[in-house]
Amino acid sequence: MAAVDLKTHPGHLARRLQQAHYLLWNTMVSEEITSPQFAVLNALVAEPGLDQRTVGERVGLDRSTIAEVISRLGRRGLLDKVRDPQDGRRFLLRLTDEGQRTHRRLTVRTARMNQVFLNPLSPEEQTVFFDLIRRVADAAEDLRNPAEPLGTAARP
């Protein structure tokens, strides 16, 4: 049996891409705040007062992962949970002043990191790259709750 060419395996390439992102994140952005934690902070800057489930949907995290991220950010004093006045079982999330400051600081760093990360691509290639990985990521999220059996969806 011959070895497969891993350069043609999207999962292998995605893992390598994630490794590069993780390295750049830790060296250029933060060793304390993870990329998913930043995504939650960012979602709450864009839409303050979202509930935990909605934040998870916005940033593409499953229920158990978003619960842990919210818990960690709360322990760090970066967000507060307040009971929803219309539904006492639900909590709404808001960034603290420290959470706002942390988001601002990391936003500048993520912009620099993204420049380094995308440096091998021309601006036109970056546009194509974003379009392609967004389409694959969106399709992968649809696999969580497929409306049709896997492999039967029509392709554009």
Concatenate the DSSP letters of all residues of 17-39 into one string: HHHHHHHHIIIII-SSS-HHHHH
Query: Is the pLDDT reported for residue 141 higher than 80?
Result: no
Q: Is 151 left (phi over 0), alpha (psi -120 to 50) or beta?
A: left
Average pLDDT of the chain, as a whole number: 91
Higher pLDDT, 81 or 142: 81
What pLDDT is stored for residue 88 in this prediction? 85
Structure tokens at 91: 């909590």
Residue type, 156: P
Query: Is the pLDDT reported for residue 98 higher than 80?
Result: yes
Domains, the chain, in order of start with CATH, read: 8-118 (1.10.10.10)
Under 8 Å between Cβ of 72 and 37 = yes
What pLDDT is stored for residue 69 in this prediction? 97
